[in-house]
Amino acid sequence: MWETSKVSSAGAGSVVLVALSVLSAPALGGNEYDAVTLFMSAQPAFDIAQNRPGLELRRPAIGAINNQGQLTGTGDAGGNQLAQDTRPFFYDPSEATTANLGDVTGDFADPANNSRNGPSNGMDLNDAGWVVGVSSTTPGTGTTDDRPLLFFDQDANHANSPGEMHELNLNPGATLGKALRVNNANQVLIDGDTGLYRADISLTAGVVSEPSARSLVSATASFPDMNDSGEVSYISGNAGFVWRDLDGDDFADANEIAQIPFMDATITNSTVFGINNAGQVVGTMRNSQARDIGFIWTDIDGDNIVDWDDNNANGFFEANETSNEVLRFHGDHGGIGSTAGNTFVFDINDSGMAVGGYFDSSGRRAFVYDPLSGMRFLDDLIDVSFPLDLREADAINNLGQIAVVGRAPSTILDQLVLLTPLAAAINGDLDGDGFVGISDLNIVLGNWNQNVPPGGVLADPSGDGFVGIDDLNTVLGNWNTGVPPGSPPPGEALGNVPEPGSVVLLGVGLIGLRRRPRG
Ligand SMILES: [Ca+2]
Ligand SMILES: [Ca+2]
Ligand SMILES: [Ca+2]
Ligand SMILES: [Ca+2]
């Protein structure tokens, strides 16, 4: 129930109060995500015309989803999991199609061809739809023929048309390479036998150009991620690192590299899997029982150092020590609260929603974490009739869409599943009941003038962490959108739909009032 004092403190809500004083708190819960398996989605017309083999979408291998809902990862052209049948896929939601991107030599892994090239993979894509990955260029095994690829659907036919697949240059001194990440500043992370480099790429009218200079991130690295500021997280040896170019010289100075602390002196292992545009980093730390403990690090004081209370001053961040910068999952955190099992956090979006997998002796479960609701298993947030178990969540975008690995019970066949938040289906439908109305307005008012965790869809449709005029206008601007709960079946007359009345007038009148306090 909203409180009069909260709304009044906004200075502009007194009219709203009168109109809504009898409203009750909304009912929440039920399904939060629409789940769709993309395992065998349709091919684009172009691929069909070219007789290209379709791809089955098995585990996307830390694949990626962008803010258009496009996906990339690795598909299987043969259905029997042979290495030479794997090719990058490009899922485009505008036609719900999955394209076989082939490799840089134009080999699309036709199972009837006995000399098809080795495995190629899609690794990442940015919001413009640039796909990066690795292309094997010969039928041989091994990595010596690996080359970095860049694909862009220039003609918007959802498929790899002639001229759209590009081979990128290798790193300085390198004989092989793979493109692992791309950001919205057109930077690409390329790994090879001389290290992990950050490269600036331009793609104009189908032509790629690359400056010769690249920034060496690390001589050895795996599983890197990169945000739009060019900050890079990566694993090297048994430790996780973050490079932030604090002096902006495109050079990884020693003082710019943060190491994720180990949790224990006897089991020295920490990993990182992702970094978002707020600079938050996710991964795992390992404790003295060799359990992987997922974490989110937020560098609150901006010194690029993981700060914690090292009570015994031994340089290890042990389970009984605390930090206001590091959130750790289970054991010492009020999430699932298990005392066994391992938690891997694989990705985090820009509003701090993180996804990953919880693994123990009884199996694997995909989870989502958000600051409002904590850590929850995704199986519990979808329709109970969905036939697959959700085993691992690999990627999340800023719309809250999640790429998940699913598997039917008693099988070993991994399948790519896309989860889309139901609440986001209609802008302003905060409680996810498919209709924008009084209950949604009440959620905004109930949190009026409050700072809430960024991205908490329950009370902040604008996603900036503060509930105010923008959020009110989002609800009012979509008023009456959708189907009111309890409506008669189609064809029958609709009952009375509540109108916001004077609230609408107030909202319209306040659209120009954008200044907002922040906490
Ligand atoms: Ca195309
Ligand atoms: Ca620097
Ligand atoms: Ca710090
Ligand atoms: Ca310690």
H-run or E-run covering 443? helix 438-446
Helix (H, G, I), strand (E, B) or coil at 461: coil
- Both 327 and 286 in one domain: the answer is yes
Shortest-distance ligand to the CA of residue 263: 4
Is the pLDDT reported for residue 506 higher than 90? Answer: no
Q: What CATH number is given to the structural domain containing 298?
A: 2.120.10.30
DSSP 8-class letter at 422: G
CB 517 within 8 A of CB 466: yes
Residue 377 counted as domain residue: yes
Query: In angstroms, what is the span from residue 83 Cα to ligand 1's centroid?
Result: 25
At residue 296, the pLDDT reads 97
How far away, in angstroms, is 215 Cα from ligand 2 center? 10
Last residue of a domain, one of 424, 457, 483: 424
Ligand in nearest proximity to the CA of 320: 4
Q: Are residues 314 and 463 in the same domain?
A: no
> Does the pLDDT of residue 369 top 50, yes or no?
yes
Residue 39 falls within a domain, yes or no? Answer: yes
**487 vs 268, residue with greater confidence:** 268
Same domain, 413 and 435: no
- Is 20 or 165 the better-scoring residue by pLDDT? 165
Distance (Å) of CA 52 to CA 49, 90, 460:
8, 14, 45
Q: Which residue has the tokens 């896929």?
A: 89
Give dist(CA 406, CA 39) in Å, integer: 10
Task: Give residue 335 CA to ligand 3 midpoint distance, Å.
Answer: 24
CB of 57 closer than 8 Å to CB of 38: yes
Strand ranges for 126-268 from DSSP E: 131-136, 146-151, 165-167, 177-182, 187-192, 195-200, 202-204, 207-209, 215-218, 222-226, 232-236, 239-243, 257-259
Task: Return the structure tokens found at 359.
Answer: 């693994």
The ligand with the least distance to the CA atom of 297 is: 3
Which of 386, 409, 424 is where one domain is finished? 424
Between the CA of 255 and the centroid of ligand 2 the distance, in Å, is 8
Instruction: Return mean pLDDT, the chain.
Output: 84
For residue 63, the model assigns a pLDDT of 80
Cα 187 to averaged position of ligand 2 atoms, centre (Å)? 16
93 in the same domain as 238 = yes
Q: 304 lies in a domain? A: yes
Q: What is the pLDDT of residue 203?
A: 97
Per-residue pLDDT tens for 29-66? 458 999 999 999 999 999 999 999 999 998 656 689 99
Residues 259 and 154 reside in one and the same domain: yes
Q: Is the pTM above the cut of 0.85? A: no
> How many separate domains does the chain show?
2
pLDDT band per the 50, 70, 90 thresholds, residue 243 = very high
Contacts of 3 (CB under 8 A, 6+ apart): none
CA distance 89 to 104: 13
Q: What string of H, E and C letters represents the secondary structure of 271-324?
A: EEEEECCCCCEEEEEECCCCCEEEEEECCCCCCCCCCCCCCCCCCCCCCCCCCC
Task: Read off the pLDDT band of 16 (50, 70, 90).
Answer: very low
Q: How far is the CA of 258 from the centre of ligand 3 (A)?
A: 10
Is there a single domain that holds both residue 462 and residue 448? Answer: yes
CB 90 within 8 A of CB 70: yes
Give CA–CA dist 296/304, Å, rounded: 14
Assigned domain for 519 exists: no
195 & 288 share domain: yes
pLDDT, mean of residues 181-189: 98
- Do 337 and 447 lie in one domain? The reply is no
Same domain, 479 and 352: no
At residue 271, does pLDDT exceed 50? yes
> What's the per-residue H, E or C state across 69-131?
CCEEEEEECCCCCCHHHEEEEEEECCCCEEEECCCCCCCCCCCCCCCCCCCCEEEEECCCCCE
Give the up-direction half-sphere exposure of residue 199: CA atoms within 13 A in the CB hemisphere: 30
Phi, psi of 302 (to 5 degrees): 65, 25
In a domain, 331, yes or no: yes
* Per-residue model confidence (pLDDT) at position 289: 82
Residues 388 and 301 in one domain: yes
* pLDDT above 60 (res 519): no
Task: Report d(CA 498, CA 474) in Å as an integer.
Answer: 17
**Cβ-contact 41, 57 below 8 angstroms:** yes
Single residue among 400, 424, 448 that ends a domain in this structure: 424
The answer to whether the CB of 415 falls within 8 A of the CB of 59 is: no
Mean pLDDT over 267-295 rounds to: 93
Whether 518 is in a domain gets the answer no
> Is 373 domain-assigned?
yes
Looking at the CA of 250, name the nearest ligand: 2
Which tokens in the block code for residue 9?
Answer: 């403190």
Ligand 2 centroid to Cα of residue 257, in Å, is 9
Same domain for 137 and 17: no
Q: What is the DSSP letter of 128?
A: T
Report the separation in Å between the CA atom of 333 and the middle of ligand 4, taken as the mean of its atom positions.
18
Which residues constitute the domain of residue 455? 4-26+430-510
**Is 401 in the same domain as 444?**
no
State in Å: Cα 165 to ligand 1 middle: 9
